[in-house]
Amino acid sequence: MLGLIKIALWEVRQTKSGVDPRAATLSLLLIAAIAAAGWSTSQFGFHTGDKLYTVAVDEEHLAEIIRTNPKFDVTTGGYNATKRFDLLIKRGVVTYQGDERSIAALDALDRTIREYDEERLIAKNDIPNAFPVWITINYLPRIQSFNLPTTLPHEDETSDSEDIYIIVPQEEDEERRATLPTPQPIVPTKETSRGRNIFQFDSQNIATPSKIEPPLPFRSVVLTFFFIFPIHFIAQFYSASIMNERVRKSGSLLLTAPIRASEIVLGKMLPYLAITLLFTILIGVAVGGNHRIVPLLLPVILTFLSTSFLAAVLARSFKELTFILVFLSVSLSGYLFLPTIFVNVHGVSTISPMSLVVELIEGEKIKLAEYLFATLPLYLVSLLVFTFGIFIYRDEDLFSQKSIPSKLIDSIEVFLTRLNEGYFSVFSLSALLIPIAFIFQLVAIVLLFNLPIETSIVLFVIVAALIEEGLKPLGIYTILKRKPETSFRQSAMLGAASGLGFFVGEKLIVLIVLISIADSIYGTAMGIGLLIPPLILHTTTTTTSALLTRRAGVKFYPLAVAIAATIHITYNLYLLRGAINV
Amino acid sequence: MYNPILTIARKELSTLFSEKTLILALLIQLFVASFSSLLIVGLTSLYDPETLKGQTTSNAEIGVLGYQEKLVSLMEEEKINIHYYNDLQRALEAFDRGRIDAILTIPDDIDPGGTEIIRLTLYLPESDIKGTFVVMQIKESLSKFESFVREKRSHRIDFTPITLHVEKMPKKSAKYFEFIYTILIPLLVFTPIIISGGLVVDFITEEVERHTIEVLLTAPVSLPQIIAGKITTAIAIVPPQVAAWLFFLDLTNTHVANIPTIVLHSTLIALTIILTGSLIAIEYPNRSTAQYIYSLTLILLFTTSYILPDSPLNLTTRLAAGSIDPEETLTHLTLYTTIPIILYLSLHAKITRSNYTLRHHISD
């Protein structure tokens, strides 16, 4: 513990003295310039697709109107007849070409004219005659469900045959009824119909028909980026610090000191964690949240920090580090950001803690089950990534040019040796790999979510099986690689132990978090709910791949995984036969 | 013939392949692309909500309280299924049970020709995708109702709307056109460029931080040659990636015009970005500092390009959509050729100064 604090203080001193004052000034200038540029786009609008469409008009008056939309490149008067225009306007008649661009131009022309008319009407300053119709919009919460809309049976159908079709009970919510907004006559003013602030979280507004905007997930997307930006940047500095230890070989000196590797790694992390938390709180308060944002974002920060640490340990060169970090950031951001689009739409959105952040800022209460569901996978993953990374935070891995897979195998080997390389060690490894498999599968759900439901289920079954079958025998692979003399019987037993470990781990996860997702069709695909068949499945597939690897050699590991996965896929498709008609 | 620049370039390229960095880079691009294409509906609706209109497979079920002949007939024209209710409570119960997706209340005393503002109330499901569909469907009829009322009252404000005629309305729709050409294609073209700029920063700072630059300089190569070699590698990998993405899009029935010109344009922009990256790396040979400054510079360049009406992003859009003539393209490309030349000259001037050494400005 003392070592931890020592290292943390040392890291702060080191970084402080290492800051290049010119770079610091430049970065402040750049940030100011970005803020100015961002402000000006928010004031004067984005320029995208300027002069995308060509249009020829015979009247100057009309040309002026069309020019209000910068997307049009307008030609007037004696235009060249040989040139091709997307739209030709002669004496008030529009001619268009048959291609997509021309049709899109027609849509844009329609919008431009409507907007121009609206502007003229606003100038009349006579609301009852110019804007005679006003609509007050009230948004009402509706109970969300995990059921995918396309597979939800109609409510008055009696469906009892398939347990994967779960009808979400429509709870009577008396409290909600009481807080229902009552329509109030509000005298419309000009401001209410124009311009909207993204940080306005009120759920009632009033508009003319053309200004009604459908509910959009824009706020959550913007919010996610606000939070992820600093988290990503600071994690980069942490990984740079670890990488520097390796490049400058100063890490070697630290390792000989009477401090444990875990103290070095976590001690170096503490300052970065503290700064990120500070930023998070500042941003949280700025966007209208409060300190309760911290427990929601803590697992996100830890995931970023732990993966950046592992990347710094694994990478052989700077460019490799950059690429791994970008790759991790892109996939993590995707994992965090994609589900937020479905906030209040679909239960799956609560996979991402960012969805909960949005809900918190909107003033909703967060249930403990939701919190666990969104954060536990991330907590577990960061814990595991740190643990396995620390295993290889030693001379032979830090200062060598070993490839990434062989370093990962090294860390698994350390884990197995600490548990005497017995059946128990592979059992525990499989159980511990569950959160990793779980995260990958959740990413797969997120990615496959938008495909047609039948395709997405089949693809998910395949991807999920490959992930599980690839991870389960990793321990056995490591043992067989080191000790090819392991007997056939032992390999079979190791396979069974590993499969059992995965099964136990899976059931534990279910107990803790998956209660809410287990009823959905994806839950069924993940093999949750039944007891004996998945146990048999996991042990059979893992034993199969263990024996195949033992017989054919570790080189054929991918093939063994593919065969085991095929068994797994067949089993899962059989389970889901009712839903996908195969 | 021995060419030190090419030798350095080849060395860097081979480490890119042996470390499988390039595979990771392509994977990143695939991720970015698949995110956007998987989200094409979600993001396009974010970009322009009206595009969702074509996605409705079923009609909106709307509960209505009150009655107005014209409004109701306009809603029926839009194929909205209307359910009448006598009181709000009953309608809300149906809303909760999912029987209807929105409630519209129409006051009893509507007088289209009168002088009073007409106030309607709409209840929608909160941020629900159903809510989006309903709004799309009901917006049209409400707008038409507004025009109807406005016309009745127009004699008081002296207003005639601009009318244009279209002989035959197109049957096809081009809803994703603007998304594909103004967002997706520039995104795919610029990702390889951003990656290459980051690469060159790593190429240069790595030699300095690992002190290998001193070793390298004892060989018969000069510092400008080393830097030129690294820039060559970073630039060489851009055109194949861009071309591959554009051909891929073309295969998926998204017509991309002017592919060779886009590849040329993106190569010129890549040169600008890579030279900027090199200048930053030479100025700040500490990797984390250089990468940080590089990222900030990139963000600044991107935000600025959205302020300008004619940015490299927009040139990509117009080239891909085929809505720019060759003369104008030439003007743009000439400008984008001069920028890297100026950058290269200043880079060269900097590293050939007699007393110049590439070293950490901070102590190790």
The angle formed by the CA atoms of residues A124, A130 and A131, to the nearest 5 degrees, is: 130
Which of A15, A27, A48 is the best mutation test for B, with the most CBs of B within 10 A?
A48
- CA–CA dist A470, B287 (Å, integer): 35
Give helix A100-124 / helix A60-67 axis angle, nearest 10°. Answer: 90
What pLDDT shows up at residue A131? 83
Q: Which amino acid is at A195?
A: G
Q: Does A37 touch chain B (CB under 8 A)?
A: yes
What's domain B53-156's superfamily in CATH? abc type-2 transporter like domain (3.40.1710.10)
On whether the CB atoms of residues A294 and A281 are closer than 8 A, the answer is yes
Which of A129, A150, A223 is the best mutation test for B, with the most CBs of B within 10 A?
A129
**Helix count and strand count (H, E) for chain A:** 25, 6
Taking the alpha carbons at both ends of chain B, their separation in whole angstroms is 39
Residues 88-127 of A with CB under 8 A from B: 89, 92-96, 98, 100-101, 103-104, 106-109, 113, 116-117, 120-121, 124, 126-127
From residue B261, how far is each of A545, B46, B267, B305 by CA, in Å? 51, 31, 10, 20
Residues 392-431 of A with CB under 8 A from B: none
On whether the CB atoms of residues B280 and B290 are closer than 8 A, the answer is yes
On whether the CB atoms of residues A493 and A350 are closer than 8 A, the answer is no
Query: How many CA atoms lie less than 13 Å away from B38 in the CB half-sphere?
Result: 20
Q: What token pair was written down for B332?
A: 């743009």
Q: What token pair was written down for A514?
A: 């998956």
The domain spans of chain A are 53-124, 217-402, 419-582
Contact check, Cβ <8 Å, B146/A120: no
Complete edge-to-edge strand list for the sheet that includes strand B102-105: A204-207, A133-140, B118-125, B102-105, B61-65, B81-85
- CA–CA dist A125, B157 (Å, integer): 10
The domain spans of chain B are 4-38+176-351, 53-156
From B3's Cα to the closest Cα of chain A, the distance in A is: 25
What pLDDT shows up at residue A196? 35
Cβ neighbours of residue B339 closer than 8 Å, sequence gap 6 or more = B272
Among B24, B95, B156, beta carbon nearest to A140? B95
Q: Does A198 touch chain B (CB under 8 A)?
A: no
Residue-wise pLDDT tens digits, B294-324: 999 999 998 898 888 789 999 999 999 988 8
Exposure letters A141-150 (e unless 16+ CB within 10 A, then b): bbebbbbbee
Contact check, Cβ <8 Å, B21/A117: no
Residues 465-494 of A with CB under 8 A from B: none
Share of chain A above pLDDT 70, in %: 76
Q: Looking at beta carbons, which residues of chain B come within 8 Å of A180?
A: 92
For chain B, give the secondary structure using H, E and C.
CCCHHHHHHHHHHHHHHHCCHHHHHHHHHHHHHHHHHHCHHHHHHHHCHHHHHHHCCCCCEEEEECCCHHHHHHHHHCCCEEEEECCHHHHHHHHHCCCCCEEEECCCCCCCCCCCCEEEEEEEECCCHHHHHHHHHHHHHHHHHHHHHHHHHHHHCCCCCCCCEECCCCCCCCCCHHHHHHHHHHHHHHHHHHHHHHHHHHHHHHHHHCCHHHHHHHCCCCHHHHHHHHHHHHHHCHHHHHHHHHHHHHHCCCCCCCHHHHHHHHHHHHHHHHHHHHHHHHHCCCHHHHHHHHHHHHHHHHHHHHHCCCCHHHHHHHHHHCCCCHHHHHHHHHHHHHHHHHHHHHHHHHHCCCCCCCCCCCCC
What pLDDT shows up at residue A173? 38
Contact check, Cβ <8 Å, A93/B41: no
| Higher pLDDT pick, A579 / B345 | B345
Contact check, Cβ <8 Å, A209/B16: no
User: Is residue A220 helix, strand or coil?
Assistant: helix
What pLDDT shows up at residue A197? 37
Q: Does A153 touch chain B (CB under 8 A)?
A: no
Q: Does A52 touch chain B (CB under 8 A)?
A: yes
Q: Does A453 touch chain B (CB under 8 A)?
A: no
- Does the structure show a pLDDT above 90 at B49? no
Contact check, Cβ <8 Å, A52/B123: no
Q: Which amino acid is at B244?
A: A
**Residue pointed to by tokens 């577990």:** A380
Among A96, A215, A447, beta carbon nearest to B126? A215
User: Which positions of chain A have pLDDT values less than 50?
Assistant: 144-203, 518, 582
Q: Does an H or E element contain A464, and which?
A: helix A453-471
**What is the C-alpha R_g of chain B?**
30
What residue of B is the nearest CA neighbor of A404? B19
Q: Which amino acid is at A483?
A: K
Q: Which amino acid is at B210?
A: R
Residue-wise pLDDT tens digits, A283-338: 888 877 777 788 889 999 999 999 999 999 998 888 888 888 888 887 787 777 76
What residue of A is the nearest CA neighbor of B208? A247
Q: What token pair was written down for B194?
A: 């951003």
Q: Does an H or E element contain A56, and which?
A: strand A53-57
On whether the CB atoms of residues A6 and A259 are closer than 8 A, the answer is yes
Among A70, A177, A214, beta carbon nearest to B132? A214
- CA–CA dist B227, B233 (Å, integer): 10
What residue of A is the nearest CA neighbor of B196? A319
Residue-wise pLDDT tens digits, B220-255: 888 888 899 999 999 999 999 999 888 888 877 778
What residue of B is the nearest CA neighbor of A241? B288
Q: Which of B198, B193, B175 is nearest to B305 (CA)?
A: B193
A365: left (phi over 0), alpha (psi -120 to 50) or beta: beta
Highest mean predicted confidence (pLDDT) among A277-286, B180-189, B339-348: B339-348
Stretch B161-165: mean pLDDT: 80
On whether the CB atoms of residues A265 and A3 are closer than 8 A, the answer is no
Which of A28, A203, A238, A322 is the best mutation test for B, with the most CBs of B within 10 A?
A322
**What is the C-alpha R_g of chain A?**
29
Q: What token pair was written down for B214?
A: 């001193």
From B271's Cα to the closest Cα of chain A, the distance in A is: 19
From B2's Cα to the closest Cα of chain A, the distance in A is: 27
- CA–CA dist B91, A180 (Å, integer): 13
For A284-301, the DSSP string reads: HHHTT--TTHHHHHHHHH
Taking the alpha carbons at both ends of chain A, their separation in whole angstroms is 58
Q: Looking at beta carbons, which residues of chain B come within 8 Å of A210?
A: 139, 143, 146
Among B19, B205, B300, beta carbon nearest to A33? B300
Residue count of chain B: 364
What pLDDT shows up at residue B265? 96
Residue-wise pLDDT tens digits, B80-103: 888 899 888 888 888 887 788 889
- Does the structure show a pLDDT above 80 at B174? no
- CA–CA dist A441, A467 (Å, integer): 8
- CA–CA dist B66, B164 (Å, integer): 35
Contact check, Cβ <8 Å, B150/A30: no
Q: Does A64 touch chain B (CB under 8 A)?
A: no
Contact check, Cβ <8 Å, A327/B323: no
From residue B51, how far is each of A381, A512, B34, B41, B143 by CA, in Å? 39, 41, 20, 8, 17
Contact check, Cβ <8 Å, A130/B202: no
| Higher pLDDT pick, B260 / A438 | B260
Contact check, Cβ <8 Å, B183/A327: no
* Average pLDDT over all residues of chain B: 82
What residue of A is the nearest CA neighbor of B42? A341
Cβ neighbours of residue A252 closer than 8 Å, sequence gap 6 or more = A395, A398, A399
What pLDDT shows up at residue A271? 93
Contact check, Cβ <8 Å, A318/B202: yes
What pLDDT shows up at residue A346? 55
- Does the structure show a pLDDT above 50 at B154? yes
What pLDDT shows up at residue A201? 37
C-alpha A442 chain-centroid distance? 9
What residue of A is the nearest CA neighbor of B305? A47
- CA–CA dist A551, A557 (Å, integer): 10
Q: Which of A410, A405, A417, A416 is nearest to A395 (CA)?
A: A410
Q: Looking at beta carbons, which residues of chain A come within 8 Å of B284?
A: 20, 22-23
Q: Does A70 touch chain B (CB under 8 A)?
A: yes
Q: What token pair was written down for A316?
A: 């052989």
From B322's Cα to the closest Cα of chain A, the distance in A is: 9
- CA–CA dist A452, A150 (Å, integer): 9
Cβ neighbours of residue A47 closer than 8 Å, sequence gap 6 or more = A70, B306, B307, B308, B309, B311, B314
Contact check, Cβ <8 Å, A100/B49: no
Which of A19, A42, A47 is the best mutation test for B, with the most CBs of B within 10 A?
A47
Q: Looking at beta carbons, which residues of chain B come within 8 Å of A44?
A: 307
Backbone angles phi, psi at B9, to 5 degrees: -60, -45
- CA–CA dist A280, A278 (Å, integer): 5
- Does the structure show a pLDDT above 80 at B11? yes
- CA–CA dist A183, A139 (Å, integer): 11
From residue B91, how far is each of B66, B83, B87, B103 by CA, in Å? 12, 9, 7, 7
| Higher pLDDT pick, B273 / A490 | B273
Q: Does A128 touch chain B (CB under 8 A)?
A: yes
- CA–CA dist A241, A401 (Å, integer): 19
What residue of A is the nearest CA neighbor of B168? A95
